[in-house]
Structure 1
């Protein structure tokens, strides 16, 4: 089951919502392929679906740019088989740096600056479970 959080900056008026974790749609690669919009990722998933040695992990994750603090709430997927492997990665929409996956612990995004003002720190407040 996934969790939804509201993000608030302690300095400016920035707010946002993120959804992290695992939902029912992540129970199979076929299900994941049905909602993925990226054509290249959809093709990669299809390659792994046909391989009986495939193992995978998939969930919604928060990605943050280490250079400019931009955020993306995206699918994390890692697939491995005896002959191939794949792990999702994302480029920052602002500066094209490789984004890093971040975790929320005790309603805090440790050392994460506000993407709007870059001065404040973000607080994450849990508001619902999702599946």
Structure 2
């Protein structure tokens, strides 16, 4: 995958503008994948893209605000942090939710 293919589906305008800038820079590296963000305040769950780009002169990481409480979501989504495969329910905070990670293959 390259930055031009990410630009085709990436929705947030700030990220799209940053992708265009990084496409013209030398020595750019990036990470991009969908992940599960968990609000540290209200435990709202957001499944969205993570985008990190780095060049010789600058870096960019996308960010999200919680749709429930408007707090800033964590910088990175959960990936390896969910070792048990279980999260607290964001609504009742008492029940547990099973987490299953998957991968799409074309």
TM-score bin, normalised by smaller chain? 0.7 to 0.9
Q: Which residue of 2 aligns with 1:97?
A: 71
- 1:62 is the counterpart of 2:40: no
- Which structure 1 segments of 5+ residues have no match? 1-26
Give ranges in structure 2 of 5+ residues lacking alignment: none
For residue 30 of structure 1, what is the aligned residue in structure 2? 4
Q: Post-superposition shift, 1:125? A: 3.9
- The aligned length equals 101
Query: How many Å separate the matches in 2 of 1:80 and 1:33?
Result: 16
Greater relative contact order, per chain length (Cα 8 Å cut-off, separation 6+):
1
Distance 2:100 2:17 in 1: 36
Aligned residue for 1:93, secondary structure, equals coil
| 1:71, distance to aligned residue in structure 2 (A) | 0.7
Q: CA deviation at 1:83?
A: 1.2
Question: Where in structure 1 do 4 or more consecutive aligned residues deviate above 3 Å?
Answer: none
SS in 2 for 1:41: helix
TM-score normalised to structure 1 length: 0.70
Give the TM-score normalised by structure 2: 0.84
The whole-number CA distance in structure 1 between the counterparts of 2:100 and 2:46 is: 17
Structure with bigger strand share is: 1
Question: What RMSD, in angstroms, separates the aligned Cα atoms of the two structures?
Answer: 1.6
CA shift, 1:119, in A, is 1.3
